[in-house]
Structure 1
Amino acid sequence: MVDITDIEAAAERIQGHVLRTPTVSSPGLSDLLGVPVTAKLELLQRGGSFKVRGAAAKLLTLTDVEREAGVVAVSGGNHAIGVAVMAGALGVAATVVMPRSAPARAAEAARAAGADVRLTEDMAGAFALMEQLQRDGLTLLHPFADPIVLAGQGTVGLELSDDADELTDVLVSIGGGALISGVAVALRARRPGIRVWGVETEGAQAMTDALAAGGPVPTTLSSIVSTLSAPTVSQLTYDHVSTLVTEVVLVSDAEAVRGTLELADHGKVWAEPAAGCLVPAARRVLARVGGDARLGFVVCGGNASTADVFKWSTP
């Protein structure tokens, strides 16, 4: 298990390489949900999501041999951008493998940052190609099975604990689970008693399936939310979530897309459905814990185009 000292060390290591993103109270979301809401705006991070944190944390620990070999990563979108941006900034060659279902703008952004982008037919094929490239000699930069990456993502929670007013419940989206794992470690260490809730979409429910099975298992992917679509979680992230997270809430794709539009209308931020899913999940959390809650949202990324969201929202 990663602990708070690992996350504090990651924060020191990546300082100056990533942004300290704003943590703001949201009057619009507070009015919408009927309780105070604070948003951690990680969609304003370099690369448009939290992913550069874990990428920077890992890249800055590589040996000269590992750097020379170059890195390989697999991604539904945001990890590819984060790895490409940070590898480019640090002078490390990067190859990113993505399924064709990933947003085209994510592949374009990764290429623009200097990465070699390889496309596969589906996410399972992307993971298989990543493993082959690792066997061929590239250095693996895994999105959620690496404690150094997890600690890097946990710096989001460290900043939230420092910058937010009193919170009772924090909602975090789950793909492979590194973000929520790191955030939960930081928040539970800094603010004992706080509840951390995970959110997944139906058809991208790797952690929900793992919790039901008692450990990581393959999941069937069908969600439009490619940035949450890990084919399985890792033992590392399962251990953290099963120990530290109150519950994982499952919402539909349609609810996630509506949540994206509600974040725009009421929160005045343009997020992706991977963050939009927090809004319907918050309603379910409030039904459980009552109206005295003070909510925190980790708005994880904003790499979705208006055309994509409007297409998904059209019946």
Structure 2
Amino acid sequence: MIGISDIEAAAERIAGHVVRTPTVPSPGLTELLGVPVTAKLELLQRTGSFKARGATAKLLSLSGAERAAGVVAVSGGNHGIALAVMAAALDVKATVVMPRTAPARSLALAEAAGASVRLTDGMDSAFELVTRLRDEGLTLVHPFDDPVVIAGQGTVGLELAQDTRDTAGLTDVIVSIGGGGLIAGVAAALAALRPGVRVWGVETEGAEAMSGALKAGGPVPVPLSSLVTTLSAPSASQLTYDHVAALVEEVLVVPDRDAVQGCLDLAEHAKVWAEPAAGCLLPAARQVLARVGDGARLGLVVCGGNTTPRELMGWADRFGLG
């Protein structure tokens, strides 16, 4: 299990390379949901998502030989962008494997940063290719199955705890789940620093790696059909599963349509441009409030903003939300 000392060490290591993103009260979301809401704005992070934290922590941990050989990652978008950009900044050669369903913008950004981008037909085959490239000598920077990466993502929770220290505090924090690296790190930080805070996860239908693992008693392959590619891990890992099983209250599942509506609501009420991986926080927040009541004080980890107006409007039209 990742401890607070691991997260604090990661915070010290990545300081100066990543942004200490704002933690702000949201009057608009407070009015919308009817309880106090605080937002951790990771969409303002370098590369547009929290992923820069874990990627940087891993890159800075490499030996000289590993740096020289280069790194490889598999990604539905955000992890690949983060690794490509941060590897270029640290003068490490990166290869990024993405499914063809990954957003075109993500592919373009990874290539523009100088990474070698390899495309596959799906996430399953992407993970298979990455395994082969690792066996050929590249260092794998896994998006979630790595204690160094999880500790880097846990710095989000460290900052959230620090930034709400002098307020009435939070009762419940909601975090999106793909493979579970972010929620594992955030939950570990909050368990150490704010042990009374409940942590909730949220997935979209068709991207249910962690809820599937919890039902099965451990990681299992899951079928992927969600439009939210940045949450579409083919399975959780044992490492992330162990953290969620021990530290997370419940993993909620919401439809794609509600995640897209959440993006529109975040734009209108919170004045932030979020991707569906963050949009799913709002329907999940309503489920949390139905369980815990009106005395809640919510923290939302707004994990990323890497979507284009055309993509978001296309999804809104598909679901009749325009």
Interval containing the TM-score (normalised by the shorter chain): over 0.9
Q: In structure 2, how many angstroms separate the alpha carbons of the residues matched to 1:180 and 1:47?
A: 19
Name which of 206, 209, 218 aligns with 2:221. Answer: 218
1:113 Cα deviation from its structure 2 partner: 1.0
Which amino acid is 2:75 matched to? S
Measured after TM superposition, the shift of residue 242 of structure 1 is 0.3
For residues 170 and 196 of structure 2, what CA distance do their matches in structure 1 show?
Answer: 10
SS in 2 for 1:200: strand
Deviations 1:207-228 (A, max 9, x none): 0000000000000000000000
In the other structure, the counterpart of 2:265 is 262
For residue 117 of structure 2, give the secondary structure of its aligned residue in structure 1.
strand
How far is the alpha carbon of 1:313 from its aligned partner? 1.0
1:184 aligns with 2:180: no
**AA at the equivalent of 2:224:** L
Aligned equivalents of 1:183, 1:85: Cα separation in 2: 23
* One-letter amino acid of the counterpart of residue 155, structure 1: T
- Answering whether residue 279 of structure 2 is matched by residue 280 of structure 1, we say no
Aligned-pair CA distance for 1:291: 0.3
- 1:295: which partner in 2? 298
- SS of equivalent to 2:39: strand
Distance in 2 (CA, whole Å) between partners of 1:284 and 1:187 is 21
Unaligned runs of 5+ residues in structure 2 are: none
Report the Cα distance in structure 2 between the residues aligned to 1:305 and 1:126, rounded to whole angstroms: 24
| Alignment match, 1:43 | 43
The separation in 2 between residues aligned to 1:113 and 1:11, in whole angstroms, is 24
Alpha-carbon distance in structure 2 between the residues aligned to 1:306 and 1:168: 34
CA distance in 2, matches of 1:65, 1:169: 43
Alignment partner, residue 195 of structure 1: 198
Q: Give the superposition deviation at 1:33.
A: 0.1
**1:126-137 counterparts in 2 under 5 A?**
126-137=126-137
Shift of 1:153: 0.3
Amino acid aligned to 2:156: V
Query: 1:17-37: per-residue Cα shift (whole Å, max 9, x none)?
Result: 000000000000000000000
Instruction: Give a deviation string over 1:180-232, Cα, whole Å, max 9, x none.
Output: 00000001110111000000000000000000000000000000000000000
Q: Give the superposition deviation at 1:158.
A: 0.3
Which residue matches 2:113?
A: 113
Tell me the amino acid that sits aligned with residue 162 of structure 1. Q
Taking the aligned partners of 1:47 and 1:192, their CA distance within structure 2 comes to: 31
- Inter-partner Cα distance in structure 2 for 1:257 and 1:70: 37
Which one-letter code corresponds to 1:215 in the other structure? Answer: G
1:243 corresponding residue in structure 2:
246
Tell me which residue corresponds to 2:62. Answer: 62
**What is the deviation of 1:112?**
1.0
Question: Counterpart amino acid of 1:123?
Answer: M
Q: Are residue 305 (structure 1) and residue 308 (structure 2) matched? A: yes
Structure-2 separation of matches of 1:71 and 1:54 = 14
List aligned pairs for 1:70-81, cutoff 5 A.
70-81=70-81
SS in 2 for 1:270: coil
Letter paired with 1:14: I
Distance 2:237 2:177 in 1: 12
Aligned partner of residue 95 in structure 2, secondary structure: strand
Partner Cα separation in structure 2 for residue 114 and residue 24 of structure 1: 34
- Output the amino acid matched with 1:226: T
Counterpart-to-counterpart distance in 2, 1:61 and 1:102: 28
Please give the alpha-carbon distance, in whole angstroms, between the structure 2 residues aligned to 1:5 and 1:255.
37
Post-superposition shift, 1:298?
A: 0.2
**CA-to-aligned-CA distance 1:36-75 (integer Å, 9 cap, x gap):** 0000000000000000100110100101111111000000
Report the number of matched residues: 315
Partner of 1:99: 99
Structure 1: unaligned runs, 5 residues or longer: none
Q: Alpha carbon RMSD of aligned pairs, Å?
A: 0.5
Match of 1:209 in 2: 212
Following superposition, the deviation at residue 312 of structure 1 comes to: 0.7
Q: What CA distance in whole angstroms lies between the structure 2 residues aligned with 1:305 and 1:162?
A: 32
Q: Percent identity?
A: 70
Provide the secondary structure at the position in 1 that maps to 2:18: coil
User: How much does 1:114 deviate?
Assistant: 1.0
Matched with 2:178 is: 175
